[in-house]
Amino acid sequence: MVLAIVLRFRFIHSLEYKLPLEYLLLWSIVTIVFTLGYKMDSSLNLLRKKAEKDLDNTTYKSTIVVVEDSDIDANIIKEVLSPLYVVKHFSTAEAMLEHLSELTVSLFLFDYKLPGLDGIGLCQHIRGLTDYEHTPIVMLTGEAYANFEHKFWDAGCNDFIAKPYSATTLQKRLAKELKYNALLEKHKEASMIDSLTQVFNRRYLEVVMQQLSARHESPEVSVLLLDIDYFKKYNDRYGHLAGDAALVVFTDAVKEALGRKTDFISRWGGEEFAVVLPHTNYDGCVLVANRIMQILCEERIQHEDSPTGYLTVSIGGVMVNETPKDWKTLFLAADKNLYEAKEQGRNQHVLKVQ
Low-confidence stretches of the chain (pLDDT < 50) are 2-3, 5-7, 9-12, 14-17
Say which amino acid occupies 233: K
Phi, psi at 22, each rounded to 5°: -65, -30
Classify domain 63-188 by CATH architecture: 3-Layer(aba) Sandwich (3.40)
Q: What per-residue confidence (pLDDT) applies to 65?
A: 96
Contact residues for 54 (Cβ-Cβ < 8 A; gap 6+)? none
Q: What residue segments make up the domains of the chain, in order of their start?
A: 63-188, 202-353
Q: How far apart are CA 210 and CA 196, in angstroms?
A: 25
Predicted TM-score (pTM) of this structure: 0.55
Which pLDDT tens digit goes with each residue over 131-165?
Answer: 888 899 999 987 666 677 788 888 899 998 988 89
CATH, domain range 202-353: 3.30.70.270
Instruction: Report pLDDT digits (tens) over 252-274.
Output: 999 999 878 888 888 888 889 99
Q: How much is the pLDDT for 15?
A: 47
The CA distance from 225 to 227, in Å, is 7
